[in-house]
Amino acid sequence: MSAFNTLVIAIASAIMGYFISNIREKQTNWRNLKIEFYKEFVSTHAGMADGDATNEDRLRFSRSCNKLSLVASNGVLTVLAAYLREISISNQNRSTEQEADLRRKLIWAMRKDIGYPPAHTSLQEFDPPFQTSGNRRAAST
């Protein structure tokens, strides 16, 4: 009877190990997909930030935003929606400070979503560098 119990435990352990490994693999693949989409968003966003974006840049940015709805957490999507409202051409009350604050919150939320929160103790201390082309066009009057 003891050999039978040992065999059952060994088989159960192997099955559990397989399922746990499978779950971890799926989680890793999902996280990697999120990272890919987040990197694409940040990359396309840099082309939009200076106001010198071409129609192709705007299309790439729109597509990257739409892709985020497939993988991003609700927290990321909430901040993304606020950010998109802020940078919208139709927003007559655009604020550079509000845009920067929402961009900071968005990057924070993305890092948190992939399990890589910033080492800073609070969101208020988090100030990621964001490089653009430096060709911001003057606002038309």
Q: Where are the domains of the chain?
A: 2-124
Q: What is the DSSP code (8-state) at residue 7? A: H
The pLDDT score that the predictor gives to residue 1 is 63
The pLDDT score that the predictor gives to residue 5 is 83
- pTM: predicted TM-score of the whole model, two decimal places: 0.74
Which distant-in-sequence residues (6+ apart) come within 8 Å of 132 by Cβ?
Answer: 46, 49, 50
The pLDDT score that the predictor gives to residue 139 is 41
Split the chain (141 residues) into runs of 10 and give each run's mean pLDDT. 82 86 88 94 78 83 93 96 91 89 91 81 71 49 35
Please provide the size of the chain in residues. 141
Phi-psi region of 44 (alpha: psi -120 to 50; beta: other; left: phi over 0): alpha
